Structure 1
Amino acid sequence: MNQKIHANSKALATWLQRIVKSLGNHSDRLNAINIFPVADGDTGSNLYLTARSAHDAISKLETADIGELMTMASRAAMESARGNSGTLLAVFMAGMAEPLSGVERLTAPVLATALERGKVRAWSALSDPVSGTMLSVMAVVSDAALTTVRSSALEPESRAALIELLDALCLAAERGVVATENELGELHAAQIVDAGAVGVLIILNELRGTLLGLTIDHEEYSQLHGYGIQDPHIHQVQNRDTGVEVMCTINLDALGAATLRGQLDAIGDSVIMSPVNPTEEGYRWRVHVHVPEAEAALSVIKGMGSPVNVSVTDLCTHDA
């Protein structure tokens, strides 16, 4: 148990850098198995671009406060998040940042609490969360982390306890990814695992690798159903949804946010809303929705305020 651990803010910055590299390397395969919630083959690209925004935001930041680093990274990721997967990654990071405020060294209890907060934020951001997705892996990992901390015989603040936790949460993440194939009908029919779930596994494996000074064996991912390099781009043979993805950032108070969520739920699906940062009158909110036509969503959104960072993407034109 004398393994050296680096668990400070510099290590977390390195983690974000490693995430960007790994997601870039895996984006093609993640795109290939992206069929839920729509078969638009962009999960890998969205995770990569969102993570890159997070890392770029803190690349020159000098701070010992892990929470400050994660907050800045998550806000940048939220403002430029891409798609369902990128938005949920940004929200997960924002949740993790909350209990890390003022923390200068990760410990097992602190990391477990951060993962729990990230899970809660991600699940609550979606109006209609679905099991068998990256949300499931976040939940499995959070539960495993809390259970490990509570049942451990090791000194909670020790390096050994952190190693134990990192091992446990990565094993749980892998099991969670494998389980997605049987949790979601579309994945079971296609005999693949969920793309976003694999993305979470990659991210957590890189966290373990960063803190323990390990290189991740990426060949292990090829054992996941549909993920081998020789496997087809399954999203290309799926029925394509029509419609568009609308994303924006808008300032709202609590009532306005609740009202907008309800109105978007009535006209679309895959509604994700999460606060980015506080303002004088409420919060800046990142908004995501799938609708048949953009104008329907934009009309509702503009009725609540003045959106910025607006993007409209055709759901049936993505290709890997």
Structure 2
Amino acid sequence: MSLKIHTNAEAMAQWLERCVKALGNHSDRLNAINIFPVADGDTGSNLYLTARTAQDAVSRWETNDVGELLTLASRAAMESARGNSGTLLAVFLAGFAEPLMGHERLGAAVLAQALERAKVRAWSALSEPVPGTMLSVFAAAAQAAARVARAPGSDISSKAALIEVLEAVRIASRAAVISTEALLDPLTRAKVVDAGAVGMLIMLDELHAVVTGTVVDADAYSGLHGYGIQDPHIHATALPVEGVEVMCTITLDPLEAATLRGQLDAVGDSVIMSPVNPTENGYRWRVHVHTPVAEHALEVIRKHGSPVNISVTDLCSHDG
């Protein structure tokens, strides 16, 4: 029997749709275990809302180019990204789309390239990347895909090779999620895995499912620490967090972007900067920073240009 798989642009649009549904179903439990970098109980909500923006952008878009479709989705997600986790999801999609430009089908080799590029984009977007987060899942997925794709004697163009890569990615990503509990002290103390990492695992599981025409087991995540339905919301007992989250979009050339990143590091933390799309004068950049006072960050940003899509959110006001 011939192995039937689904790898075209329509399938990738369905992947985004399934991610939105899955993240929506899991948002409460993801919020419940959200404790790093800020115990604000909104990681699940942020992932869901960002993924929904990506899916909405391509819901009526007709193209045969897988990379073109995912690039459009990533740009929409980046412009409306919510929080650390939503921003990194958008960055992941942007990197994932790049090697897929010009491809009408997903294959084992290009999937491995897409995962590697997504990993690089995500890790480089952060001023201070921290293992034990979504980044660990990105790294594990890329490494697993590359290992299978480069295996001696493998027919990398076959359907079976693509399924083998996807299976390896699922296994490695789940192991990376489990390992997060031991990599970050706040997670170790709370006895939970990282919420953003679980969200990324959910998306990669859905990618496997849409390609193979299967359904993810509803109980697939019940064994993860802190993920039982009876487990309490960790963030509810955490100490209030002072400060605000500032996000905006601004056009900069690469040198200005590097300068701004350094200046934001001086007035805040959790700095994420990633290009959205090229312009005549450089790139549109999505900027994210946690800072004690919003105006401190905005003053630094405005020295380099005119930011748009500005949002300022109290870190202690999130209720999941």
Partner Cα separation in structure 1 for residue 2 and residue 112 of structure 2: 22
Kindly state the Cα deviation for residue 241 of structure 1 after the two structures are TM-superposed: 1.6
Other-structure match for 1:6: 6
| 1:103-252 mapped onto 2 (5 Å cutoff) | 103-151=103-151, 153-252=153-252
The TM-score, its normalising length taken from structure 2, stands at 0.99
Amino acid across the alignment from 2:205: N
The farther-off stretch of 242-251 and 154-163 is 154-163
Amino acid across the alignment from 1:67: G
Amino acid across the alignment from 2:256: G
Kindly state the Cα deviation for residue 154 of structure 1 after the two structures are TM-superposed: 3.2
Contact kept in structure 2, 1:38 and 1:240, CA below 8 Å: no
Other-structure match for 2:76: 76
Other-structure match for 1:314: 314
Kindly state the Cα deviation for residue 245 of structure 1 after the two structures are TM-superposed: 0.1
Contact kept in structure 2, 1:132 and 1:184, CA below 8 Å: yes
Moved over 6 A (4+): none
Contact kept in structure 2, 1:154 and 1:160, CA below 8 Å: no
Amino acid across the alignment from 1:251: T
Partner Cα separation in structure 2 for residue 9 and residue 263 of structure 1: 40
Kindly state the Cα deviation for residue 303 of structure 1 after the two structures are TM-superposed: 1.1
Amino acid across the alignment from 2:41: G
Number of equivalences: 320
Kindly state the Cα deviation for residue 32 of structure 1 after the two structures are TM-superposed: 0.3
Kindly state the Cα deviation for residue 251 of structure 1 after the two structures are TM-superposed: 0.5
Kindly state the Cα deviation for residue 256 of structure 1 after the two structures are TM-superposed: 1.0
Contact kept in structure 2, 1:128 and 1:271, CA below 8 Å: yes
Partner Cα separation in structure 2 for residue 254 and residue 154 of structure 1: 40
In the alignment, structure 1 residue 17 sits paired with structure 2 residue 17: yes
Contact kept in structure 2, 1:34 and 1:40, CA below 8 Å: yes
Partner Cα separation in structure 2 for residue 198 and residue 43 of structure 1: 10
Partner Cα separation in structure 2 for residue 116 and residue 96 of structure 1: 8
Other-structure match for 1:52: 52
Partner Cα separation in structure 2 for residue 218 and residue 261 of structure 1: 41
The TM-score, its normalising length taken from structure 1, stands at 0.99
Note the residue ranges of structure 2 that are not aligned, 5 or more in a row: none
Q: Secondary structure at the match of 2:316?
A: coil
Contact kept in structure 2, 1:79 and 1:309, CA below 8 Å: yes
Q: Secondary structure at the match of 1:151?
A: coil
In the alignment, structure 1 residue 267 sits paired with structure 2 residue 261: no
In the alignment, structure 1 residue 99 sits paired with structure 2 residue 99: yes
Partner Cα separation in structure 2 for residue 74 and residue 132 of structure 1: 24
Amino acid across the alignment from 1:205: D
Other-structure match for 2:278: 278
* RMSD over equivalenced CA pairs, Å: 0.8
Partner Cα separation in structure 2 for residue 5 and residue 198 of structure 1: 25
- For 1:128-167, what per-residue CA distance to the aligned partner results, in whole angstroms no more than 9, with x for missing partners? 0001000011101100110011116331010000111111
The farther-off stretch of 145-154 and 70-79 is 145-154
Q: Secondary structure at the match of 2:259?
A: helix
Contact kept in structure 2, 1:152 and 1:161, CA below 8 Å: no
In the alignment, structure 1 residue 63 sits paired with structure 2 residue 63: yes
Amino acid across the alignment from 1:188: T
Amino acid across the alignment from 2:174: E
Partner Cα separation in structure 2 for residue 133 and residue 95 of structure 1: 18
